[in-house]
Structures are given as structure tokens and as C-alpha cells.
Amino acid sequence: MKIGFIGLGNMGGGMAANLAKAGHEVHAFDLSGEALAKAGEAGCHPVSDAADAVRGMEAVVTMLPAGKHVRAVYANDVVINAGPGMLVLDCSTIDVDSARDVAEMAKAKGILPVDAPVSGGIAAANGGTLTFMVGGSEEAFKRAEPILSDMGKAVIHAGDNGAGQAAKICNNMLLGASMIATCETFKMAEKLGLDLQNFYDISSKASGQNWSMTSYCPVPGIGPQSPADNGYEGGFAAALMLKDLRLAMEAAESVGAEVPMGEKAAALYAQYAEGEEQGGMDFSGIIKMLDKA
């Protein structure tokens, strides 16, 4: 397929490269010249502006920082230049209202929209093993699924437009809270005199087992390879976790959901990412702040 790709950052660059690797003709755009050059080296066709990544395409993928960026690109580039029946896939993580608004904007012009935020981080984006949570009509999902499958290992239809974003922020609220609980537990186990490898061997096979422990352990040298083994560099930045937690808090407030654990996780990540100025470090690095405390 001829696919436009707008947004070639840490996640988008790897995703666009995997589409090109799968045989698609990818017309890629980013404001960064360095990102465009890397996309070209990966088999994409760099273009001069976002509109050129839309004109004549069968589908367009956007991977942008926030709702305001997605709204602007849809209003100024996508909707104006898209042909009837074009499929547009927004893989950014944004607020649910923005996702629904741009979907309505697209549908009013005869364009098929899906919101398809991702889970998995930079390594999964580069490796083509992302998980996509997709919001959109059944028709749009069926058309989007093969494209998303070329970038990921799992593509799940969450419901109508906006449902993908809702699933993403609920998932990441749980992830943020469980990572903090995992970090706290390891530090307490250490202070109680337990050998941490031995504790891992026990808890990873007991009722305390969770993904943050067994797949992404925040303690160096324990469990599978993780950012903890690389000085907490790479992986999923703490600033991005904070962004997702704040989106979750906005969503919870909008529907009157009580989320005390989510609120505490958001407060702690704000302290770590902003107060400790560790926003670029992996989110599991919050264990260092807890250790200081």
C-alpha cells in the first residue's frame, strides 16, 4: 500500500521503518531533518511537509506528542488532502475527547478513522512487536488491522472511536501504579534483609506476580533484561508515563471515577520526572527516588 506517515520520533521512526520493511511504499514526514534522513535510510520516502504525506495515499498514520498536535495536523493537512474513503490511523496517545473530535472531523469528509495507541515502548516499536488498542468502526478496524499487524504482535479492537485511547490510559494507569508498588516492595524486602534474587524467585511464582516484576524488573540483575540493567536509560520515559497518568486523571474526572491509586502514582511520577528532573529516564527508575526517601 501507499502509506503516509507523520511523526518519526522515538516510536514513529521504528514503526515507519517496519511498514517499509513489510513492502509498503511509505511517504514519511517529520519536522526533524535527522529523523527524515533515518527514515530514508530505512526504506521510506521522505517528503517536505505533512500535506505531501497525505496526498495520493491509501492510508495515513500519525504518531504525534499530544492532542493539540493531532488536531492541528488533521485540520490543516489530513482532512484537506485526503481522498474519499482513505483510512487514517492515529497511533498517538492523546485525550479521549481529542480522539473522538478528530474522528468526527474525518468522518464528515468521508474518511475512515481509527485511534490506535500502542503499548510496548521503543524496543517494541523498532522490533515490530507493539500491541495496538484500536477504536473505530468494524469496517475501519478490518482495513486497519493488516497495516497495524506489520508494526505489532497484537491488534485488538477496543470499540468505537476513542475506545483505543480509553483502553491505553486505563492500562497505563495500572502500569504506573503497579511499577511503584513493585519498586516499594523490593526496597522493603531489601531493608528486611531478604536476598532480592531469592525474593524475586518467590514472588514471581506467587500471588504478588505482575508484569512490572517479571518482564520489566526495576532492580538491576534480576529477571529478564530491562532498562534497570542499563542505568535506567531507554525504554519508556518517565515523562511519558506522567503524561499518560495525567490523561488518565483527566478522564477519571470527566466520568466521576474514583482512582486514588492512580492519583498517587501521578503525584509520585510528577515528583520524579519534574522535581527530580528525571523525565528522560525510564519510568522504572522511580525506584531510585523511593530509595532516597
Q: Which residues does the annotation mark as catalytic?
A: 168
Measure the CA–CA gap between 117 and 131, rounded to whole angstroms.
8
On whether the CB atoms of residues 274 and 287 are closer than 8 A, the answer is no
CB atoms within 10 A of CB 215: 11
On whether the CB atoms of residues 94 and 66 are closer than 8 A, the answer is yes
> What's the first-to-final CA gap in the chain, in angstroms?
53
Measure the CA–CA gap between 200 and 213, rounded to whole angstroms.
8
Tell me 193's DSSP state: T
Burial of 264 (0-12, 13-18, 19+ CB in 10 A): middle
CA 191 vs. chain centroid, Å, equals 34
Measure the CA–CA gap between 3 and 7, rounded to whole angstroms.
13
Concatenate the DSSP letters of all residues of 73-134 into one string. Answer: HIIIIIHHHPPTT-EEEE-S---HHHHHHHHHHHHTTT-EEEE--EESHHHHHHHT-EEEEE
